[in-house]
Amino acid sequence: MNRFRTKVAAALVAALGLLGVAVAQAATGDTLGVTTVTQRIVPDSSAGFNFLAAGPGEAYTVRDGSEEGGVSLGSADAGRATRRTSISYFGQLTDFQLADEESPLRVEFLDPQGGAFTSAWRPGEAMNPQEEDAMMRQFNAFASKPPNLAKSGAKPKMDFVVNTGDISDNNQYNEALWNLQIAEGGTVNPGTGVDPDPYVGEHPLCPAGMNVLNADDPTAYTGVQDRDEWPAPTMGYFWDPDQPDPGPVAVNPFADWPSYPGLMDRSQRPFKATGLKVPSYFVFGNHDNLVQGNAWGSGIFNQIATGCLKPINDDAANSGRSSNPLLSFVLNPNFTAQDFLDIRTGEPKYFMEVPPDPDRHLISKKEAMNLYRSTGKSNGHGFGFVDQASRTASNGYASYYSFSPRPGIRYISLDTSSEGGTVLVSDKGNLDDPQFKWLEAQIKKATANNELVVLFSHHAAGSMTANVPDEAAASCTQVDVAVAPGCDGDPRDSSPIHLGTDVVTMLHNYPNVIAWVAGHSHVNDVTPFPAPDGKSGFWSIRTAALADWPKQNRLVEIFDNRDGNLSIFGTVIDHAAGVDAPASGTSAANMSTDELASISRVVGYNENQSGAEACGSEKCGEGEAEDRNVELVIKDPRKPKAIVKKVTVAPKKRNLKAGRKFNLVVKVTNFITATADAKNVKVTVKSSNKRVKVKSAVIRKISPGKTATVKIPVRALGKARGKSKITVTAAGNKAYSNIKVIPKKKRR
């Protein structure tokens, strides 16, 4: 163990009581309101398919960045738990990859090939909507109950929850709509497919003479996980919960998996989502802007998505057919609907004939932002913060923004999608030149305002390697956006493209940047990025995916330790569904949404490509202990500065008899995020009525987080009449009190 970690271990144990956390002696299996500090979810001891159980929690690892012989970013000084004040508290969601698993545009046929095509299909993806709802409920449980407390037991309130991308899986409108409904608490209908009759013979990829599956009940599940719908021979590669083991097939990774009769149909039923109690902001990832996170949304992809022909193939060892003919429509930019039909003519067994759905259409970046802004909530889920200059210059396509939920801190949300959409390259990220320049300008402004800066993006620095200009996609001036929504709609030149190394180099010029929070890699990972001069740096915080094991997200708290250092706490949380999944053989007909979410979790653990055991001794996605529950210390880069941002008066309304007086109570607050005392704060008081007299005052000192109270005499002269508006001003902030003067009664 590193000496620094050893040194703080004892102090950490002692501090846990002050922080309001404790490691459980016996885990309960309940997850709502429980962090992984108290309880972790672990496999049971059964052979083959592992069900899950509750295990002991995991304490915080305190890190200063020097653990592997690097430069220390800060100091974990003794007694900091009794001094610290809250700067901000937020939740990070990431990598839902909410999939319309029935869509013809899915490429499940590539999944058996593994390698670059791993996770083209996930056996539990039909239950992702219910799992996401369970995660929303977990964030709500912590909205007013943070895992760590400030000094004197103060509980920071959660400012917001940010989703750092891959909200959707396949750039479809219905996927984006579901995410909006889940965030806001609407009714979600995850089933897709409509009556095919109006489309057969009319849609280019709903040719006449089709025998559409489930045509009489399009709401039923129609896809690769229903063995009864496959062309012969018997499907073996994809998990069918009705019958996991169909008998002898060459390849079946799921023969010992549990059966849940009716699970796929049950997963399609509408449910009422809980919704988040705090503002929720979205950041675009590659799967939100690109088809399967790789290709720009061309006309042929849009036709396939809304059509009736779903390309399928079992593992070649089972079907006897290579998937290469189907791969051609993914890789060939000149592919046409007729080419698609020609493959079907040559080998009908490459296709499943499914109910179409116009809501599966691909969605442009502009349309997605308009959808998220349409309800007026959470400032358009962040996209209402996009500044007007960027919106105008980009023709409405700029999706990056900054905001400040509290004085003293600035959050900057980036769009790292490689919009050029080159397959097997653009799944990685980049920044185009206009966004890169905007980012630096925002950081300069925040530094001048003495604000701390935290970045949000989908890709972390190491994943930003896509050297592809946005112009690699067709220009929206050359194609119809409704036909090819993934066209390049930003008229500005994207070059030079900036990769992760460019961004890191620039960030090191600005010590006020303390953290970069991202996802994409589906792993818990925390890495220090010290500046070359060793005097500053920032923390990279990546969080695992909800789509894959360990199905976790993170709570992040930023504290001022009042000793020249900050602490950034990262606390990993599981979603709120119970640990125990239903037993094998349980009918899914009456399962609750929680039970579906529990099944999705245990399926994620056992998944053969990205499940926990697929990475050998280190469980996939979990990271090491120092990547999960962490306290990250870093020097406070801010200059000493007061932040007087709040002035109140009482009463706000009052009747006052002429010739009488009263004391107006004025309260002035120096915000908790201030870095210095506010000294000699002048409280200027003015009356709009010359016969209502007031006085000004001076407050000698207001400590950070404190509120000073002064009483201002307000006197109405004997001849006063009418009304008076009292205006109180302190450090540019104003408050008002309205006085109505009651005239003296005349003596007879």
DSSP states of 372-429: HHTT--HHHHTGGGS-HHHHHHTTT----EEE-SSTTEEEEE---B-TT--TTTTTSB
Q: What is the pLDDT of residue 28?
A: 59
How would you classify the pairing of strands 552-560 and 565-574? Answer: antiparallel
* φ, ψ at 567 (rounded to 5°): -120, 130
Q: What is the pLDDT of residue 747?
A: 67
Q: Are residues 731 and 597 in the same domain?
A: no
Bridge partners (DSSP) listed for residue 403: 411
The token duo for 236 is 């073996």
What span, in angstroms and rounded, lies between the C-alpha atoms of 605 and 539? 29
| 520 contact partners, CB below 8 Å, separation of at least 6 | 94, 95, 165, 166, 285, 286, 429, 458, 459, 460, 463, 542
How would you classify the pairing of strands 537-542 and 513-518? Answer: parallel
What span, in angstroms and rounded, lies between the C-alpha atoms of 310 and 104? 4
What span, in angstroms and rounded, lies between the C-alpha atoms of 557 and 560? 10
Bridge partners (DSSP) listed for residue 569: 557, 631
Q: What angle do CA 603, 542, 132 make, to 5 degrees?
A: 40
Letter string b/e over residues 703-720, b meaning 16 or more CB atoms within 10 A of that residue's CB? ebbeebebebebbbeeeb
* φ, ψ at 52 (rounded to 5°): -115, 160
How would you classify the pairing of strands 452-456 and 409-413? Answer: parallel
For residue 262, being part of any structural domain is answered with no
What span, in angstroms and rounded, lies between the C-alpha atoms of 293 and 425? 10
Q: Are residues 670 and 556 in the same domain?
A: no
Q: Are residues 527 and 600 in the same domain?
A: yes
Q: Comparing C-alpha atoms, which of 176, 191, 220 is closest to residue 101? A: 191
For residue 346, being part of any structural domain is answered with no
CATH number of the domain enclosing 677: 2.60.40.10
For residue 250, being part of any structural domain is answered with no
DSSP of 504-530, one letter per residue? HHHHTT-TTEEEEEE-SS-S-EEEEEE
For residue 402, being part of any structural domain is answered with yes
Query: Which runs of consecutive H residues, i.e. helices, occur in 41-155?
Result: 128-141
Q: Are residues 654 and 611 in the same domain?
A: no
What span, in angstroms and rounded, lies between the C-alpha atoms of 523 and 551? 10
Of 618, 635, 652, the one marking the end of a domain is: 635
Q: Are residues 614 and 666 in the same domain?
A: no
**What pTM value is reported for the model?**
0.93
Residue at token pair 């399609």: 268
Give me the number of domains the chain comprises: 2
Q: Are residues 408 and 501 in the same domain?
A: yes
Residue at token pair 């846990």: 16
CATH number of the domain enclosing 100: 3.60.21.10
pLDDT digits over 98-140, tens only? 999 999 999 999 999 887 788 899 999 999 999 999 999 999 9
The number of residues in the chain equals 748
CB 474 within 8 A of CB 484: yes
Letter string b/e over residues 277-302, b meaning 16 or more CB atoms within 10 A of that residue's CB? bbbbbbbbbbbbbbbbbbbbbbbbbb
Sheet holding 723-730, edge to edge: 653-657, 733-742, 723-730, 678-687, 697-702
Q: Are residues 490 and 462 in the same domain?
A: yes
CB 416 within 8 A of CB 431: yes
Q: Are residues 600 and 668 in the same domain?
A: no
3-state secondary structure of 362: strand
CB 212 within 8 A of CB 353: yes
Averaged pLDDT of the chain: 94
In the chain, the N- to C-terminal Cα span, in Å, equals 93
- Sort residue 497 into left (φ over 0), alpha (ψ -120 to 50) or beta: beta
CB 131 within 8 A of CB 376: no
Q: What is the pLDDT of residue 119?
A: 83
Other CB atoms within a 10 A radius of the CB of residue 590 amount to: 9
Sign of torsion over alpha carbons 202, 207, 208, 213: negative
173-184 and 365-373 helices, crossing angle to 10°: 20
For residue 203, being part of any structural domain is answered with no
CA 21 to chain centre: 25
Q: What angle do CA 385, 389, 394 make, to 5 degrees?
A: 95
- Profile the chain (748 residues) by mean pLDDT over runs of 10 residues: 36 40 50 97 90 97 91 96 97 97 96 85 97 98 97 95 98 98 97 97 97 95 96 89 93 96 98 98 98 96 98 95 90 92 95 98 98 97 98 98 97 98 96 98 98 98 98 97 97 98 98 98 97 96 97 98 97 97 97 98 95 90 97 98 96 96 97 95 97 97 96 96 97 97 81
Q: What is the pLDDT of residue 23?
A: 39
For residue 469, being part of any structural domain is answered with yes
Of 571, 606, 635, the one marking the end of a domain is: 635
CB 326 within 8 A of CB 342: no
Q: Are residues 575 and 443 in the same domain?
A: yes
Q: Comparing C-alpha atoms, which of 116, 75, 119, 69 is closest to residue 97? A: 119
CB 604 within 8 A of CB 574: no
* φ, ψ at 116 (rounded to 5°): -65, -15
What span, in angstroms and rounded, lies between the C-alpha atoms of 325 and 343? 7
3-state secondary structure of 442: helix
For residue 359, being part of any structural domain is answered with no
For residue 332, being part of any structural domain is answered with no
Of 598, 615, 635, the one marking the end of a domain is: 635
Q: Are residues 443 and 538 in the same domain?
A: yes
Q: Are residues 278 and 379 in the same domain?
A: yes
Q: Are residues 140 and 39 in the same domain?
A: yes
What span, in angstroms and rounded, lies between the C-alpha atoms of 712 and 697? 8
What span, in angstroms and rounded, lies between the C-alpha atoms of 498 and 96? 26
Q: Where are the beta strands (DSSP E) in 588-696?
A: 630-635, 644-650, 653-657, 661-670, 678-687, 692-693
Q: Comparing C-alpha atoms, which of 484, 520, 552, 513 is closest to residue 634? A: 513
What span, in angstroms and rounded, lies between the C-alpha atoms of 565 and 73? 9
> Considering just the CA atoms, what is the radius of gyration of the chain in Å?
29
- Range of 722's domain? 644-742
3-state secondary structure of 699: strand
Q: What is the pLDDT of residue 352?
A: 96
Q: Comparing C-alpha atoms, which of 80, 66, 77 is closest to residue 4? A: 66
Q: What angle do CA 61, 62, 67 make, to 5 degrees?
A: 95
* φ, ψ at 546 (rounded to 5°): -75, -20
